[in-house]
Amino acid sequence: MKELNIGWSGAVGAPYGPWDIQPYIQLLGKRYIATTGQTQLHDIYRSKGVRGIEDPQTPEYKSLLEEANRLFEAGVIKGFGELILNNEHSNPVPSFRRRARLDSPGVLQLFDVAKRWEGFVHIHAEDHPESVKETEKVASAYPTVPIILAHCMFSANTTLIDRLLTQHPNLYCEMSARNESMYETTVARRLADQSGWIVFDNQSLRPDWKALIEKHPTRFMVGTDTFNAWVDVRKAVRQIRFGLLQNLSPETARLVASGNAIRVMRLEP
Ligand SMILES: [Zn+2]
């Protein structure tokens, strides 16, 4: 982060074992965007499947809610995330793929806690019609809770995203894994091309996305998605700076680079 001049990182579960956010908090202090929920939801999914994610009456959820309330109260965490609710096509590991209802009682109780503490909810869901419908339902039901859509729903449909951002002022798009360098193998690249995931590379930004971001300058933020050791962070950051930010107006670039994240996730300099 120092070498690449990165101000903040996080908003996801601890990426490598022992799955504990404490070492990151100790190391990074205010530069770490601490959240909870990702690893716990993964454990629930592993033992109980999608039904476990949707079912509020489990001991796992009980302890997650207790922990979240405690961490919010102590000012340790800023939100929930990354809640992986629909990654049917966007995860390379088949056993990790799922589609759970965003508006299920299990997930909604996390929204209740976020609302109570004015925290954000960071969700990984693809733009499957059902997930979109559920996202809109939740966004309307919790207007004070910022909902950060990881990878901008991996959507290729800028008309859809434009409509969502226009109709729901509490929805935000996070743009990690929408850059070319995340898809370096032939197989990954073919899937990304077929699915329209790649929005920017070393120097160019797709014109429809440039227009979308300029239309909603306060609603986008950047991310690296270094979820695995093979992700080349330097390359990702280079593409964010020269493929994405450089192609935006200076005011929009400042907001997308950090201004929006600072405001929405209530980060401290
Ligand atoms: Zn994700």
User: Is 269 among the domain residues?
Assistant: no
CA of 20 to the centre of ligand 1 (A): 18
CA distance 72 to 67: 9
Are 105 and 145 in contact by the 8 Å Cβ rule? The answer is no
CA of 62 to the centre of ligand 1 (A): 24
User: Is 102 among the domain residues?
Assistant: yes
CA of 90 to the centre of ligand 1 (A): 8
55-85 pLDDT per residue, tens? 999 999 999 999 999 999 999 999 999 999 9
Q: What CATH number has the domain bearing residue 92? A: 3.20.20.140
User: Is 198 among the domain residues?
Assistant: yes
Buried b / exposed e over 202-215, threshold 16 CB at 10 Å, is eebbbeebbebbee
How many domains in the chain? 1
Q: 160: exposed, middle or buried (C-beta count within 10 Å: 0-12, 13-18, 19+)? A: middle
pLDDT at 92: 82
Name the band, by pLDDT with cuts 50, 70 and 90, for residue 209: very high
User: Is 4 among the domain residues?
Assistant: no
Are 29 and 53 in contact by the 8 Å Cβ rule? The answer is no
219-230 pLDDT per residue, tens? 999 999 988 888
User: Is 84 among the domain residues?
Assistant: yes
Q: Which residue has the tokens 């990790």?
A: 96
What is the percent of the chain with per-residue pLDDT over 70, rounded to a whole number? 100
pLDDT at 226: 86
Quickly count helices (H) and strands (E) in the chain.
Answer: 11, 8
Say if pTM beats, i.e. exceeds, 0.95: yes
CA of 67 to the centre of ligand 1 (A): 23
CA distance 238 to 245: 10
Strands of 156-211 (E only): list them: 171-174
User: Is 1 among the domain residues?
Assistant: no
Are 32 and 24 in contact by the 8 Å Cβ rule? The answer is yes
CA of 206 to the centre of ligand 1 (A): 21
Look up the domain containing 75 and give its range.
9-264
